[in-house]
Structure 1
């Protein structure tokens, strides 16, 4: 049979091919948690297969071979903004050319934030906004003629005569968690355990989902609209127990959007972590950590929390209010000291170069970072460019609220965001999605930020760097000391040259 002769008669059981296009190196590959959760949902009434482009560099050929050999009802592609858009396009085009009738579904952050843009591509038939654990199975059933039509599926965007149609949003759900993720679909899941500063075999996991805060720049807020849910302690114990005893993990990195929530809800989870004794890393908020009681901090220490990633964002209180962060600059300083006392490394992220008062705000942030380093030299610092979401990408609950001034480029012209996936693959927009550049940055300020970051990371090499030898990191720190002390950041040519040899790890680009 010609494999491109679609549609063929539906198979007895619904079957979906799920693909995670390449976005990281093999060494940085971690469990594709989104697809594992989707597969668990699909397998309740059907079947699925996962192809992970982070390990399989020939994932497009693998997908084409799979489609030629097995009947699938649809192809589901997980798409993050930034570097994952280009391989998602390449896969979609290849499948559309060879199997023109096969429905192609994009899900994840990119189609959630930019559904019109995703559907402007002729190789995307459906876009799932927000959570997909219910939406995708309902869509597969509809494609098989076994359920309500796509027009009645919440959280789904589709096309009518070539024009995008957006069904009502699906309400947040926290009750779809499977008993255990189907790790066996990844082949040998131990391939995803990696050496990090936490341990020799670090696994990744997501326990809590969503975040109750609604920061205007945040994709999590845009996707979940302030909803959040923590897991039951029994479920967390079961899942982490499997990672530790079933796969041999000796540490865990939580991909939770905000692990620390209300203290009373956190205590049972911390008790689980304390029993398992798995060193761990997570996202957290300064105010949440500051509000923990001394007894809970004792439990945090027993749980072996090693590092908490905290979005400090800015030393400017007015800006923090404008972006609805909900924290204050003094809390950032307090949490740096609090973490020092409890043996937790705070990994503090900052957004420099806002579109208004750009240079002054950036210099203020540099000085604030120096103050943090004075309080707690072990603090890890991540510097990003502030790249806010377009108004249309914000959650429906937040659109039109606290509308910011229009974004203007260097020429004073309004910033026009891409309206096709191909445009988002241009390097300037990949950099925007990755918080690495913005249209309102001048060359001088761009270089100033780069030079400051170079001096800072050479003066204080990250503890996450396991590859660079200690003597090299000590040497770089000594070389950078005078520049850091005298604030001579400009053109650190000697540090750039030395770093080409040492190649310090950059956590903002590579993560753990």
Structure 2
């Protein structure tokens, strides 16, 4: 009887608001075709190390696979990897996801990581675990696309695996997660909001975006029958009443979106998604009517900058006038636009930041319902870009506040330092001065108090109205500096920050 490999999949802790670990569910579905798998979710099992070791004690596993986005997930990934290495020294440890894709050599510099899977992992991980279950033949390892590993102490990068468009018959094994109610959250969309990802990848290659590095401009939409089956399961079997789509770019080409919008219209589940200004502006009136029927409540739109030159530099592919136009368009069609901006670029840092403040004010004037999320612009290192893009559009060398070249971490442990977690999360950058950092904090404090997000379901309505009134004079007169009274009020009200907590 052939050996059926068994894999322990681990989702490192990253949030207090658990969402379905979609990447691990997809991996489990692929692994279970030829073996079996078990999932430990650190967002549910808060003592991740203990939960992982307890799972490993119950049965034999051929390998453990750990999915890592980066940022705050790196530290718990390291902790669980070290614990496995200590208690089960012969068990292969595999890292996959954005972090090992972007920082492969860094990942394999750690003694507690044996293999790194780059890009999409479903086929690569299944092949790897199968080979490991048969003894780990080196020639077989060398044939696995998208795998990086060590041979005689040297790091080997196998050729990339071609982009996989997904299996229309794939069924996600939600039953592996236990009680689904733990993953259905109360949000501004509904009382039982689920997360889902229909399409993967993005045609665009923004210089700060891990999606571009992960997929290299490739994208794939799901067959309509699979989307309807999966959403129907979430609604009718699990009781979800609304959806957060984690698609990298839900609105792409209009002709491709119509069948998906028709499904959403039939299901009548309010939803949120990522979108692009240029794509929304191209939609016909008939499609916008379908958008209305589908109950789209909010679209997250990457505006990034009011500077056309800056947008060209970061390869965004949109223009500032399109951002202003889509704010009006969304208002007309009853959709809340949630605009994100990248502040403090490494060149013309203060000037670009102040221009962005004024552009945000113009957006709020055009459509006061517009939601605003601000980040710090932190581009990927040249070596982290997709192989198709490396060296083609090199940016100016990144310099820190002292004019020295920015040196990125060379080990996963270094990435757990606060300054690098902040860099990965677009929360801080080495070229920011304390003065500008404070200026950004003050502006954002005044802005979010003047216009509390509709996504804040926790703060009482009277409290949000009071904070808005308190901040109005500062906002009106551009008196952002040292909003001490708003800081004090926030200690009691604690307005929600979508860029930290998510939708």
TM-score, normalized by the shorter chain, greater than 0.5: yes
Q: What CA distance in whole angstroms lies between the structure 1 residues aligned with 2:6 and 2:168? A: 20
Q: Work out whether 1:423 is the aligned partner of 2:414.
A: yes
Return the offset for 1:176.
Answer: 3.1
Q: Work out whether 1:450 is the aligned partner of 2:441.
A: yes
Return the offset for 1:162.
Answer: 2.3
Match of 2:324 among 330, 333, 342: 333
Q: What CA distance in whole angstroms lies between the structure 1 residues aligned with 2:171 and 2:335? A: 30
Return the offset for 1:177.
Answer: 5.1
Q: What CA distance in whole angstroms lies between the structure 2 residues aligned with 1:417 and 1:404? A: 16
Q: What CA distance in whole angstroms lies between the structure 2 residues aligned with 1:203 and 1:351? A: 28
Q: Which residue of 1 aligns with 2:333?
A: 342
RMSD value, Cα: 1.1
- Contact kept? 2:48, 2:76, Cα under 8 Å: no
Unpaired runs of at least 5, structure 1? 1-9
Q: What CA distance in whole angstroms lies between the structure 1 residues aligned with 2:259 and 2:30? A: 27
Match of 1:50 among 23, 29, 39: 39
Return the offset for 1:11.
Answer: 8.8
Q: What CA distance in whole angstroms lies between the structure 2 residues aligned with 1:62 and 1:479? A: 46
Q: Work out whether 1:95 is the aligned partner of 2:84.
A: yes
Q: Work out whether 1:32 is the aligned partner of 2:14.
A: no
Return the offset for 1:91.
Answer: 0.2
Q: Which residue of 2 aligns with 1:175?
A: 166
Any runs of at least 4 consecutive aligned residues in structure 1 with deviations exceeding 6 A, and if so which?
Answer: none
CA distance change for structure 1 residues 178 and 163 in 2, over 3 Å: closer, same or farther? farther
Unpaired runs of at least 5, structure 2? none
Q: What CA distance in whole angstroms lies between the structure 2 residues aligned with 1:250 and 1:102? A: 41
Q: Cα deviations across residues 216-268 of structure 1 (Å, max 9, x unaligned)?
A: 11100000000001111111111100000000100000000000111011101
Q: Work out whether 1:73 is the aligned partner of 2:66.
A: no
Match of 1:111 among 87, 94, 100: 100
Q: How does 1:432-447 map to 2 (within 5 A)?
A: 432-447=423-438
Q: What CA distance in whole angstroms lies between the structure 2 residues aligned with 1:272 and 1:279? A: 12
Q: Work out whether 1:462 is the aligned partner of 2:453.
A: yes
Match of 1:59 among 27, 44, 48: 48
Return the offset for 1:178.
Answer: 4.7
Match of 1:477 among 468, 482, 485: 468
Q: What CA distance in whole angstroms lies between the structure 1 residues aligned with 2:464 and 2:181? A: 31
Q: What is the TM-score with the length of structure 2 in the denominator? A: 0.98
Q: How does 1:226-245 map to 2 (within 5 A)?
A: 226-245=217-236
Q: What CA distance in whole angstroms lies between the structure 2 residues aligned with 1:62 and 1:351? A: 38
- Contact kept? 1:41, 1:178, Cα under 8 Å: no
- Contact kept? 2:29, 2:170, Cα under 8 Å: no
Q: Which residue of 1 aligns with 2:243?
A: 252
Q: What is the TM-score with the length of structure 1 in the denominator? A: 0.97
- Contact kept? 1:81, 1:433, Cα under 8 Å: yes
Match of 1:270 among 256, 261, 271: 261
Q: Which residue of 1 aligns with 2:133?
A: 144
Q: Work out whether 1:316 is the aligned partner of 2:341.
A: no
Q: Which residue of 2 aligns with 1:83?
A: 72
Paired residues in the alignment total: 501
Q: What CA distance in whole angstroms lies between the structure 1 residues aligned with 2:26 and 2:170? A: 11
CA distance change for structure 1 residues 177 and 89 in 2, over 3 Å: closer, same or farther? farther
Return the offset for 1:149.
Answer: 1.6
CA distance change for structure 1 residues 177 and 424 in 2, over 3 Å: closer, same or farther? farther
